[in-house]
Each structure stands twice: as C-alpha cells, then as structure tokens.
C-alpha cells in the first residue's frame, strides 16, 4: 500500500498561535463540551472546544460556576480530550485557582494542562488579572482571556448584567488592551453591548470570541446544551437554539415509559432465544 498523501491525512490540530493568526480571517467557531461523545461531535465542526466551568451548572446542578473545583475540571477535561482530534481544547480555570498569586495560578494551570492534555487555559478578568496572564505566558502556558460579564464574579456584579453601558465601556477597553499586552492569544467578550464589542474587536490584534457581544467579533462561542435546546425553560437573549432536543427527549422518555407500562417494550426483537 502506498503512503498517504497529505490530503488523505487528518487535518493538523489547531494550536493557540494558529488561532491567534486567524484574527480578521475566517470566523472562529467555538462550543463547550464536557463529555467524550459530545467532544467528538463538536470537534468535527468547530475550531475550539471549551471545557467550560459552566459544567457545574449544566451537568452538576450548581447555582453558579463559583462552586466548581479543579477536580471537576480535570475529570471533564480528560473526558473531552479523548474525543478531540483537530480542535484546540481550552479548559477554564475554576474560581479560586488563580486569583491569589501568579505562582498559584501557574501551579494550577500546569496541573490542568498536564492532567487533561489541553492546549490552553482560560482565565476571567481584565487589568487586575493581566500580571497573572503575563506570568503564565512567560512560562509557556497559552492563555485565553475573558472579559465583560465574568460569571465567576457574578456576586460582585450583583447578577448576570449586560456590560459596557455608561462608564464601564472605558474599563472594558482598558481590560481588553491589558490582556492583549499580557500575552493572551484571544479574548472572550461576554454579554458586552454590541457597539463596544465591535470597537474592541477593531482595535485589538488578537481575536475576540463573542457570546452575547457582536457579529463583528472574530468568532463566537455558546454553551452546547443551550444551543441544542436541552433546557426548555432557559433561553438567554444571546442564545439561538439550533435544535429543541430537550422537548424531543421529554417526548421520547414519556413514550418509553408508556411502552414499558403497556408491555409493548421489550418486544420479540429485543430479547434472546435459548438457541442461536
């Protein structure tokens, strides 16, 4: 058998520098994933697979991301890594794992990368966290930044409020430039008013990834379960549902329960005879 040509091999895995080079080019597609099967599906279509700390609310029923632990992120990170072949895998650093000092942040980021095999970590915060980003980048850890609404700071914000109105727009600009100068290869803009997100995107030399921000951002990210409509009673304004799997699952579960109760399942085709 002859050797495969380059066009017959799998596409090369995307890296943090490769993603940074996409600034102003083809849009960057990002979704969350927390399990191996979902990671495989996301990997087939997306550029970035984010193991978000939203896993705490989506899969563990927590009230916020503040309660998520390193152990949870490592567990789900390992599962997602098994399903990825091409996309860049980014793992959220959970609340309390990086704020105390750059040294502590490095220890925890290094642990996340070593134990999950991810290609980058994500930190929330702007000017205040920029020195930590610089410390990590200088030691070989690629960092995706996250400004605007930062869910780990939801108690400080007093809720999940839109960012960038009034005087806060100037702070967002400072935050964006601070994380860029610190060495972040990309920055998530969450729930930022559209004109401000558009302006920040135009001024930065690193890609912006929007979630409730602007179509002008260099890419977009959503929580997979929100996009699939798995939660019928939860639909933020910035989420477009591309399916209604929650409703379909409820119908299927009810049909299964009815079939068990009326004896139509299992049928002859679902059981085994005593002879081959």
What pLDDT score was predicted for residue 10?
A: 45
Is 53 labelled a binding residue? yes
Among 190, 194, 244, 250, which one carries the catalytic annotation?
A: 190
Q: Tens digits of per-residue pLDDT, 26-58?
A: 999 999 999 999 999 999 999 999 999 999 999
Give the global pTM: 0.91
Q: How far is CA 240 from CA 8, 80, 211, 226, 257, in A?
A: 35, 24, 11, 8, 31
Residue 123 or residue 167, greater confidence:
123
Is 54 labelled a binding residue? yes
User: Which phi and psi angles does 38 have, rounded to 5°?
Assistant: -70, -35
What pLDDT score was predicted for residue 11?
A: 56
How many DSSP H helices and E strands does the chain contain? 11, 8
Q: Which stretches within 22-61 are classed as H helix?
A: 36-45, 55-58
Residue boundaries of the structural domains of the chain = 12-243
Structure confidence at residue 1 as a pLDDT band (50, 70, 90): very low
The answer on pLDDT for 250 being more than 60 is yes
Q: Tens digits of per-residue pLDDT, 218-230?
A: 999 999 999 999 9
What pLDDT score was predicted for residue 170?
A: 92
The burial of 212, by beta-carbon neighbours within 10 Å (0-12 exposed, 13-18 middle, 19 or more buried), is given as buried
Q: Tens digits of per-residue pLDDT, 145-188?
A: 999 988 776 655 556 678 888 878 899 999 999 999 999 999 99
DSSP structure class, residue 223: -
What pLDDT score was predicted for residue 152?
A: 78
Instruction: Answer whether CATH 3.40.1190.20 is correct for domain 12-243.
Output: no
The answer on pLDDT for 14 being more than 80 is yes
Known catalytic residue: 99? no
Q: Tens digits of per-residue pLDDT, 57-109?
A: 999 999 999 999 999 999 999 999 999 999 999 999 999 999 999 999 999 99
Is 262 labelled a binding residue? no
Structure confidence at residue 8 as a pLDDT band (50, 70, 90): very low
The answer on pLDDT for 276 being more than 90 is no
Strand, helix or coil at 57? Answer: helix
Distance CA 208, CA 237 (A): 20
Is 122 labelled a binding residue? yes
Is 124 labelled a binding residue? yes
What pLDDT score was predicted for residue 9?
A: 36
């Amino acid at each position: 058998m002859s050797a495969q040509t380059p066009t017959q091999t799998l596409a090369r895995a995307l890296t943090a520098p490769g993603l940074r080079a996409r600034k102003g080019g083809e849009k960057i597609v990002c979704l969350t994933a927390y399990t191996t099967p979902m990671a495989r599906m996301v990997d087939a279509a997306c550029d970035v697979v984010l193991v978000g700390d939203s896993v705490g609310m989506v899969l563990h029923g927590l009230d916020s991301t503040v309660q998520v632990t390193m152990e949870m992120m490592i567990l789900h990170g390992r599962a997602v890594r098994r399903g990825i072949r091409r996309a860049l895998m980014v793992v959220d650093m959970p609340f309390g794992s990086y704020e105390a000092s750059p040294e502590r942040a490095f220890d925890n980021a290094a642990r996340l990368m070593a134990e999950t095999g991810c290609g980058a970590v994500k930190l929330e915060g702007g000017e205040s966290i920029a020195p930590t980003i610089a410390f990590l980048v200088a030691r070989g850890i690629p960092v995706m930044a996250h400004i605007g609404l930062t869910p780990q700071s939801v108690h400080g914000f007093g809720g999940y409020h839109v960012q960038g109105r009034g005087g806060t727009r100037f702070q967002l600009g400072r935050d964006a430039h601070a994380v860029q100068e610190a060495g972040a290869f990309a920055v998530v803009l969450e729930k930022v008013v559209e004109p401000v997100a558009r302006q920040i995107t135009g001024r930065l030399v690193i890609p912006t990834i929007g979630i409730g921000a602007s179509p002008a951002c260099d890419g977009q990210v959503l929580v997979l379960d929100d996009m699939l409509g798995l939660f019928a009673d939860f639909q933020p304004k910035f989420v477009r549902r591309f399916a209604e799997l929650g409703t379909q699952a409820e119908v299927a579960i009810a049909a299964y329960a009815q079939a068990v109760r009326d004896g139509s399942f299992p049928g002859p085709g679902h059981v085994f005879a005593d002879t081959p």
